[in-house]
Amino acid sequence: MKMKFDKDKCLKLLKERKILQKEGKSLRDYDKAKNDELISYLSLVEDAIFWESGKEYIQILDLFVSKKITLDQFFNQFCGLRGSNLRSARMWKKKLEEEAFVVFPKSTEINIQVNPKSCGFTKIISYLHSLVAACDPDVTLEMNLKQPELLWYGISEEYLRLRIEKDFLPKLEKYCKKS
């Protein structure tokens, strides 16, 4: 079952977490269920932000798979977009934390729209990022295919292209069709 974003509940939990932090306590130690719920809400916010860039991710992956950009260009574009999404997610989370302590909300308070279809999108991008980071120019496709147990020690550019084409592009395209 996919969780729906409840902004009021999220703000309440953020406020409770901050109050406990000021007392030197953590929400996780105080109430694990509430902490898990808050983490789920914040993950939904992050997923929504990453999901909004879905078509850009697909475009970058397509360019790399079709060899229209180099590994360095792919790395810069992919990591640049991911970094931008991470900064946006931090900004939205910070705004939510600030709003949690507003006594009389104004009409200018943030109105975040979290699409439940975006749930889990960030995990795909994070996993792909870990593969990109493992790319090693000294590793060959043959090495990756003959010794799959060593993949996390380094993967070839060709192996990365194969994984993107066979695994990541279909997953991201499926997510983007949901919209």
In this model, does residue 130 exceed pLDDT 90?
yes
pTM for this model (two decimals): 0.85
Burial class (CB in 10 A: 0-12, 13-18, 19+), 24: exposed
Name the helix (H) or strand (E) containing 15.
helix 7-22
If you average pLDDT over each of 110-119, 120-129, 170-179, which comes out highest? 120-129
pLDDT of residue 118: 84
**46: Cβ–Cβ under 8 A, 6 or more apart, which residues?**
89, 93, 122
pLDDT of residue 1: 46
Q: How confident is the model at residue 3 (pLDDT cuts 50, 70, 90)?
A: confident
